[in-house]
Chains A and B, each alone.
Chain A
Amino acid sequence: MCGILAVLGCSDDSQAKRVRVLELSRRLKHRGPDWSGIYQHGDFYLAHQRLAIIDPASGDQPLYNEDDTIVVTVNGEIYNHEELRKLLPNHEFKTGSDCDVIAHLYEEYGENFVDMLDGMFSFVLLDTRDDSFLVARDAIGITSLYIGWGLDGSIWISSELKGLNDDCEHFECFPPGHLYSSKLGGLKRWYNPPWFSEAIPNIPYDPLALRRTFENAVIKRLMTDVPFGVLLSGGLDSSLVASVTARHLARTKAAKQWGTQLHSFCVGLEGSPDLKAAKEVADYLGTVHHEFHFTVQDGIDAIEDVIYHIETYDVTTIRASTPMFLMSRKIKSLGVKMVLSGEGSDEVFGGYLYFHKAPNKEEFHRETCRKIKALHQYDCLRANKATSAWGLEARVPFLDKEFISVAMAIDPQWKMIKPGEGRIEKWVLRKAFEDEDRPYLPKHILYRQKEQFSDGVGYSWIDGLKEHAEQHVNDKMMQNAGHIFPHNTPNTKEAYYYRMIFERFFPQNSARLTVPGGASVACSTAKAIEWDAAWSNNLDPSGRAALGVHLSAYDARVTSVGSKLGATPGEMPARVVGVTATAPGLAIKS
């Protein structure tokens, strides 16, 4: 990842303003520790902090077209840049950077080229010939981006909130899949896939097509000039990413530079389910596996940092971000600059436990659509910012544009959970990778049931957080919470604790509006709460809520509802879960 900051039309071209823009850009230095660049054209400033993944030697930004009239600052990866370069035979490229195509595509196609890009990106393009500019964010919002407005009439664009919150009168998340054009004077959506309208698709399920598309999505993402690895929690999603990567690594360019043995990474409290599950998968795949242990105290000590970096007060996100944040630091310290991660699968396939209660395929499908659309505020936000905090880049093959198109075109009947027919959640994905001849994963891993939320890193993590909050937030504070925080009022001490920290770093009203809220049960959208009358009485957005839908619950075993460690989807073996004692505070019903 990189960090971008643009200040457009601020009517101030003084040295003082330049120094201020540089200072603000440095707040994004963690995203791009390798180099920085600033371009100034009158009162337009484009600043960049670079993490060099492709062409480290010459790809410093901003990037330009041939005659330097078009300037681009980009955070992202364009996986199809080589094909796009071929579409531009009469253009001369100055660098080997994958992002170099953007200025040239704009020259060739005007503002309508964005959908041609395959990858994750946020960019600002300035056309100095008429001082117009264009801003865009990738389809799903894998890369983070904010837009703000200054009282001086300026428009601000920044990879993170902290780049603009002190200098803008108002700011918002830049909506994913959109572009802002100064000529049009506003935002418009450039991403218009069939699933976006939420109409129910009816294409039959083709396991091999799904498998192939996913393999392609992974292979694309092996484009790198620097050392990389895979985040592996041992759950289905990250295990599939690791398996496919390991299988195709030998044939990639990356392997020539960095060896054909895949590095995999897992974090957890000592003895945690994720560590065990990941080790099993790593052994099976023969990866060079790295385990990182943290203590509850390490995690608690990192919370302020995490909230500063992730820029949210969402409880589930903070819980899951913290281990990922700690792990990213360790990964980076090994010299690894990029990791593949399993985000998005649960949204695309309805992998969350509450999907068991989806009343029909229409509701199921619409909920997956809603979940994908909200990803940029949850798991994308977490995966991107928890890694970028340490100059590590996360790539997410499940959010490949083509893969989403294929997966979201399948008749949702196939995705529905039918215990009677032995179809657990994400069955269509599991089935697609069931290969007797050359197994991707051992069957028991391929079909082990997903545990939700942050328990995978160790059962005491969330308990530790709750205890910590209990100590530092008293009942009086909770009583006044509605008055102090009228918007998205925290309703637990843990939420209150996070909120206090968030408000300290980001005190503006606009800042709190960038964080989603509303009713939720176990990560559902507000709409899906209607699926079960009991849920609305027992709202717990953070996910340990009683759903009564887990496989081990079917088996009438006492179990803890497990976890999803953010980026590394923390599925754990039902076996492991089954034998583990109930975590305190659980309300599992068998």
Chain B
Amino acid sequence: MCGILAVLGCIDCSQAKRSRIIELSGRLRHRGPDWSGLHCYEDCYLAHQRLAIVDPASGDQPLYNEDKTVVVTINGEIYNHKYLRDKLKSHTFRTGSDCEVIAHMYEEYGEDFVDMLDGMFSFVLLDTRDKSFIAARDAIGITPLYIGWGLDGSIWFASEMKALSDDCERFMSFLPGHIYSSKQGGMRRWYNPPWYAEQVPSGPYDPLALRAAFEKAVIKRLMTDVPFGVLLSGGLDSSLVASVASRHLAESEAACQWGSQLHTFCIGLKGSPDLKAAREVADYLRTRHHEFHFTVQEGIDALEEVIYHIETYDVTTIRASTPMFLMSRKIKSLGVKMVISGEGSDEIFGGYLYFHKAPNKEEFHHETCRKIKSLHLYDCLRANKSTSAWGLEARVPFLDKEFLNLAMSIDPEWKMVRPDLGRIEKWILRNAFDDNERPYLPKHILYRQKEQFSDGVGYSWIDGLRDLANKEVTDSMLMNASFIYPENTPTTKEAYYYRRIFEKYFPKNSARSTVPGGPSIACSTAKAVEWDAAWSKNLDPSGRAALGVHVAAYDEASAANKKPGLVNGPSHKVLEVPKEVAST
């Protein structure tokens, strides 16, 4: 990833302003430790902090068209850049950077080229000929982007909130799949796939087509000039990513430079379920596996930094981000600059446990659509910012545009969880990779049931967080919470603790409004809470809530029910079922 910051039309071209922008851009340096650049045209500034993944030698930014009248600062990867270059035969390119096509595409097609890009990206493009500009963000919001407005009439764009929160009067998340055009004076959505309208599709389930689309999505993402690896928690999603990546690595360009053995990475408290599950998969795939151990204390010591980097006070996100944040530092210290990760699968296939209770296929489908649309506030935010905190880039093949289109066109009947038919959650994905001749994964891994949330890194992690919050937040603090924090009021001591840290770093109203809230059970949207009358009385957005839907829970329902609020707890330990840090 890189970090971008653009300030447009601030009526100030002084040295002081330039220094200020350099300073603010410096707040994004963790995202792009390799080099920085600043282009200033009158009172428009485009700043960039670069993480060099493709063409490290010459791809420094900002990027330009031939006569330097069009300037682009971008954070992202354009996987189809070679194809796009071929379409721009009359253009001369200055660098080998995948992002350079953007300035040229704009010259050729005007503002309507964004949907031609295949990849993840956030960019600001300045056309100095008429001082117009556009800003755009990828379809799902894999890369973060914020937009802000200054009292001086300026418009600001930044990869992270911290670069503009102090200087803008108001700011917000830049919506994924949207484009801001100064000519049109506003935002519009450029991403219009069939699923977006939430109509219930009726496409057939073709396992081999789904498999092929996913394989293609992974292969695209092997485009790199630097060492890379895969985040492997041992759950279904990350194991599939690792399996497909290792299968196709040998044919990729990356293998010529970095060897054909895949590196995999896993983190957990010592002896945690994830570590065990990942080790098993790594052994099966013969990857070069790296295990990182952290202690509850190390996680707690990192919390402030995590919140500063992730820019949220959402409890589930913070719990899951912390191990990922710690692991990213270790991965980067090995010289690895890019990892492929399994985010998005649970949203597309309805992998969360509460989907067991979806009343019908229509509800099921709508909920998956809603989940995908809010990914940029949750798992995309976490995956991108936890890794970028250390100059590591995360790529997410499940959120490939083409794969998404295919997966979301399947009749949701197929996705429904049907214990009677032996279909557990994400069955269509599992079945697509069930290959007896050349197995992607051993059957018991392919069909093992997903555990939710951050327990995979070790059971005591969340308990440790709660203990800390109980010690540091008093009852009277929590009692006054709704007066202190009228918006998204924290309902637990843990939430209060995180919120306090967030407010310290981001004290503005605009900042707290960028974080989602509302009722939720075990990661559901507010709407899905209606699926079970019991849920609305037992709201716990963080996910350990009693759902009564886990296989283990089916088996041991009576035992589990004796511990309200922690129903799945004991059975976890008995079964030692792995779960995915990366996707919870």
From B22, B34, B304, B390, contact of A23 by CB (8 A): B304
Tell me the chain B residues, 118-144 only, with Cβ under 8 Å from chain A. Answer: none
Bound CA span A370–B272, Å: 58
B26: chain A residues at CB < 8 Å are 305
From B56, B301, B304, contact of A38 by CB (8 A): B301
Bound CA span A305–B52, Å: 21
B301: chain A residues at CB < 8 Å are 18, 22, 38
Indicate whether A390 reaches chain B with its CB closer than 8 angstroms.
Answer: yes
Is A15 a contact partner of B472 (Cβ separation < 8 A)? yes
Indicate whether B329 reaches chain A with its CB closer than 8 angstroms.
Answer: yes
Known contacts: A26-B305, A472-B15. The answer to whether A56 contacts B33 by CB under 8 A is: no
Render B293-331 as a binary contact track against A, CB cut-off 8 A, 1 for contact: 000000001001100000000000000000000000110
Is A35 a contact partner of B332 (Cβ separation < 8 A)? no
From B56, B334, B468, contact of A56 by CB (8 A): B334
A5 to chain B, nearest CB (A): 13
Known contacts: A333-B52, A472-B15. The answer to whether A304 contacts B23 by CB under 8 A is: yes
A472: chain B residues at CB < 8 Å are 15
Is B335 a contact partner of A335 (Cβ separation < 8 A)? yes
Indicate whether B360 reaches chain A with its CB closer than 8 angstroms.
Answer: no
Is A22 a contact partner of B304 (Cβ separation < 8 A)? yes
Render A17-30 as a binary contact track against B, CB cut-off 8 A, 1 for contact: 01100110010000
Residues of A in contact, count (CB < 8 Å): 25
Known contacts: A35-B329, A52-B333. The answer to whether A19 contacts B304 by CB under 8 A is: yes
Is A301 a contact partner of B34 (Cβ separation < 8 A)? no
With a 10 A CB-CB cut-off, give which of B23, B52, B301, B334 has the most chain A CB atoms: B301
A15: chain B residues at CB < 8 Å are 468, 471-472
Indicate whether B38 reaches chain A with its CB closer than 8 angstroms.
Answer: yes
Bound CA span A334–B34, Å: 9
Chain B: interface size category: 20 to 34
Render A323-355 as a binary contact track against B, CB cut-off 8 A, 1 for contact: 000000110111100000000000000000000
Tell me the chain B residues, 94-122 only, with Cβ under 8 Å from chain A. Answer: none
A18: chain B residues at CB < 8 Å are 301
Indicate whether A192 reaches chain B with its CB closer than 8 angstroms.
Answer: no
**How would you classify the secondary structure of chain A's contact residues: helix, strand, loop or mixed?**
helix
Bound CA span A18–B297, Å: 11
Is A33 a contact partner of B56 (Cβ separation < 8 A)? no
Indicate whether B196 reaches chain A with its CB closer than 8 angstroms.
Answer: no
Is B472 a contact partner of A304 (Cβ separation < 8 A)? no
Indicate whether B19 reaches chain A with its CB closer than 8 angstroms.
Answer: yes
Indicate whether B485 reaches chain A with its CB closer than 8 angstroms.
Answer: no
Tell me the chain B residues, 36-67 only, with Cβ under 8 Å from chain A. Answer: 38, 52, 56
Known contacts: A15-B471, A26-B305. The answer to whether A301 contacts B38 by CB under 8 A is: yes
Bound CA span A314–B302, Å: 36
**How would you classify the secondary structure of chain B's contact residues: helix, strand, loop or mixed?**
helix
Tell me the chain A residues, 494-509 only, with Cβ under 8 Å from chain B. Answer: none
Indicate whether A463 reaches chain B with its CB closer than 8 angstroms.
Answer: no
Render B8-35 as a binary contact track against A, CB cut-off 8 A, 1 for contact: 0000000100110011001000000111
A518 to chain B, nearest CB (A): 30
B329: chain A residues at CB < 8 Å are 33-35
Known contacts: A33-B390, A335-B335, A472-B15. The answer to whether A301 contacts B22 by CB under 8 A is: yes
Is B333 a contact partner of A333 (Cβ separation < 8 A)? no
B335: chain A residues at CB < 8 Å are 227, 335
Is A33 a contact partner of B332 (Cβ separation < 8 A)? yes
From B22, B304, B471, contact of A304 by CB (8 A): B22
Is A333 a contact partner of B38 (Cβ separation < 8 A)? no
Indicate whether A11 reaches chain B with its CB closer than 8 angstroms.
Answer: no
B333: chain A residues at CB < 8 Å are 33-35, 52, 56
A412 to chain B, nearest CB (A): 45
Indicate whether A538 reaches chain B with its CB closer than 8 angstroms.
Answer: no
With a 10 A CB-CB cut-off, give which of B22, B227, B390, B468 has the most chain A CB atoms: B22
A480: chain B residues at CB < 8 Å are none
From B19, B33, B332, B468, contact of A390 by CB (8 A): B33
Tell me the chain B residues, 283-301 only, with Cβ under 8 Å from chain A. Answer: 301
From B19, B22, B33, B334, contact of A332 by CB (8 A): B33
A27 to chain B, nearest CB (A): 12
Bound CA span A330–B468, Å: 41
Render A274-308 as a binary contact track against B, CB cut-off 8 A, 1 for contact: 00000000000000000000000000010011000
Tell me the chain A residues, 23-53 only, with Cβ under 8 Å from chain B. Answer: 23, 26, 33-35, 38, 52
Closest to B297 in A: A38
A465 to chain B, nearest CB (A): 13
Indicate whether A471 reaches chain B with its CB closer than 8 angstroms.
Answer: yes
Bound CA span A35–B295, Å: 13
Closest 4 CB pairs of A and B: A333-B34, A34-B333, A335-B335, A301-B22
**Chain B interfacial positions (CB closer than 8 Å to A):** 15, 18-19, 22-23, 26, 33-35, 38, 52, 56, 227, 301, 304-305, 329-330, 332-335, 390, 468, 471-472
